Amino acid sequence: MALLEARDLRKTYRLSRTNVIEALRGVDITIEPGEMVAIMGPSGSGKSTLMHILGLLHTPDPAVPGESPAPTLLIDGRDMATLGDGARTRIRASEMGFVFQSFNLVPTLTALENVALAGDYAGMSGAQARAAAAAALDLVGMGDRASHRPSELSGGEQQRAAIARALINKPRLIMADEPTGNLDSQRAAEVLALMRQFNREQGQTFVLVTHDAEVGAACDRIIRMRDGLIVGDERVDSSLAA
């Protein structure tokens, strides 16, 4: 069974009466367990909107009779399209990890506390969360930087801490929105290699939104978007992948 299966995803933002943006215009997508998928496309192509819906941060538009069918969004075969905010939040907490372009660590918390926070939200006790956070930071090579605040860490270190936060609950699905966008090429390569490593060793599924061709080339599969539609879906020749 597919890990993630979506059909007829539409998302329209009405900014004003005349300014309506159709960010997604009917997207079907299936992602298998263990895949590392890049979603690529120019700005405004709808790739971030798609990731927000797949990551349960936003909901797809409901059916419009006579115009569009009801959307389907299945994770492990469970329907997500109609869940309320509380249920979606719980699934985000325990079954998904998120990595963002601008790292998005809480500035007042240390790296360890930031990572432990995600464990806490998924229901771990304080001590459990701290132990799991320490282990996750070790995995990303940040064990010796655990007690530093984000402002005391470099961009690459912050992103590694963010990856540790995404990994702490051992989710099957990790969503990464331009994870290398704010890093220089060397740090970007390190972060990418780290994700690739977890994908290979732990079998975690990664969905990356990027417009960096090198990031796309490092994945198993590239989905290309334009104007709110998927315009290409290709396998990456693994002999070229790192």
Partner 1 sequence: MTLLRNLGRRKLRTGLTIAGITIGIWALVVFSSMANKINSLVEGGSEYYGDKIVVTDASGGGFSTLPVSIDSVVAIQGIDGVDVAIPQVAFVADADATISFGPPEQVVGGVAGADEGREGFELRASQGRLLTADDEGENVVVMGADVARSRAATLGGDLVIRGRTFQVVGILEPTLTAPDSSIFMPFDIAQSMLHEQLPPIISDQVSATEIASQIVVYPDAGADIPAVATAIEAAVPNSSTLTGAEFDEVIGSTTAIFSAIITGVALISLMVGGLSVINTMAMSVAERTREIGIKRAIGAGRRRIVRELMLEAGVIGFIGGLIGLGLGALVVVLANEAGRSGGTILFELTPSTSLFAVGFATVLGIVAGVIPAWHAARMDPVAALRYE
Residues binding partner 1 (CB under 8 A)? 52, 57-58, 85-86, 89-90, 92-94, 98, 100, 104-109, 113, 117-118, 121-122, 165
| Nearer CB in complex with partner 1: 13/64 | 13
Listed in sequence order, the residues at least 6 apart from 215 whose beta carbon sits closer than 8 Å to its beta carbon are 38, 179, 180, 188, 192, 208
Quote the least distance from Cβ 151 to partner 1, whole Å: 12
| Nearer CB in complex with partner 1: 85/237 | 85
Quote the least distance from Cβ 36 to partner 1, whole Å: 21
Cβ neighbour number for residue 103 with a 10 Å cutoff = 22
| Nearer CB in complex with partner 1: 68/94 | 94
Q: Break the chain down into helix, strand, coil percent, rounded to 5.
A: 35, 25, 35
| Nearer CB in complex with partner 1: 61/113 | 113
Quote the least distance from Cβ 144 to partner 1, whole Å: 22
Any idea how long the chain is? Answer: 242
Burial tier of 23 (Cβ tally within 10 Å: 0-12, 13-18, 19+): buried
